[in-house]
A and B are shown apart, each in its own frame.
Chain A
Amino acid sequence: QKEVEQDPGPLSVPEGAIVSLNCTYSNSAFQYFMWYRQYSRKGPELLMYTYSSGNKEDGRFTAQVDKSSKYISLFIRDSQPSDSATYLCAMSAGASWGKLQFGAGTQVVVTP
C-alpha cells in the first residue's frame, strides 16, 4: 500500500465550478503538506503549503489538513480553463522535510 493515495481522475468540471481534490496518507509522521500543479509536459510548481493541521487560503485556492483523519484537501473556487492541469499532493516528515512523498496526481479539466 502506498503511503499517499490520490484518485488519478480525470475530474471534469464546468468553468466557474468548485474543484475539490483530496489525498489520504498513512504515515502519521508527516507534518508538511503541499499541493503542486503540473501542466502538460512541464515540471510541477508549488501551489499551497501547510504545516501541520489547519486551513490556508490563497486567492481562489484553499488547502485543508486534517491530521486526525490523515486527509488533506484542495479547493479551487471559480475554476477557470487555465486551471486545467494535474494536481499532485505531496507530504514529508519533519526530520526529513526534503524527502517528499507524492500522490499519483489528479487530472483536472475545466470546460468553458
Chain B
Amino acid sequence: DAGVIQSPRHEVTEMGQEVTLRCKPISGHDYLFWYRQTMMRGLELLIYFNNNVPIDDSGMPEDRFSAKMPNASFSTLKIQPSEPRDSAVYFCASSLSFGGHAPPVTQYFGPGTRLLVL
C-alpha cells in the first residue's frame, strides 16, 4: 500500500494568494483527518470526515480555511487568502473504523505539506 499521499510536499506562496493542499487517503479507509503542526501550537486537528461527510470542523481557525472531500479517495484543504501565520506543516491522516484489522483509533499520517506564506 502506498500509504496516505499528500501534494504538494512543499509550497511557498505570497500573502493573499490561494493555497490548495491535496490528500489521497489509504484505499478503503472511511475516516480522513486534516491537521496542522507548528512549533508554537503543536499538532492540531482542523477537521475530519467520515464517509466523505464532515463530522467536526471546530478546529478550523477561521473562514479563510475550507475543506472538501468530493469522494472517498480525495480531499482538499484550501486557504484563501493565505497569511504568514498560516505557515505550518499540514498533515492528512486516514483511519479505518470498527470492523477493520487495526484498532479504530489508529490514524495513518501522510508525509505532510510544508507551507510557507511570505
Give chain A's interface residues, CB within 8 Å of chain B.
32, 34, 41-46, 49, 51, 88, 92, 96-105
Contacts and interface: CB of A to CB of B under 8 A. Distances in A.
B107 interface: yes
Nearest to B42: A104
Contacts of B50: 98
Contact of B104 (A41, A44, A45, A97): A97
Interface stretch (B14-22, B68-76, B108-116): B108-116
13 contacts: A43-B110, A45-B109, A46-B106, A49-B105, A51-B103, A92-B105, A97-B104, A98-B33, A100-B45, A102-B42, A102-B43, A103-B42, A105-B42
Contacts, number: 53
Nearest to B58: A99
A99 B43 contact: no
B55 interface: yes
Interface in B13-41: 31, 33
A32 B55 CA distance: 19
Nearest to A45: B109
For B44, B93, B109, B110, the residue with the greatest tally of chain A CB atoms inside 10 Å of its CB is B109
Contact of B48 (A32, A88, A99): A99
A109 to B, nearest CB: 17
Given A98-B33, A100-B107, A43 B43 contact: no
B109 A43 contact: yes
Nearest to B9: A41
Contacts of B44: 102
B111 A34 contact: no
Given A43-B93, A44-B91, A51-B103, 18 more contacts: A32-B105, A42-B111, A43-B4, A43-B109, A45-B109, A46-B108, A49-B103, A88-B42, A92-B105, A98-B50, A98-B55, A98-B95, A98-B105, A98-B107, A99-B56, A100-B45, A101-B45, A102-B42
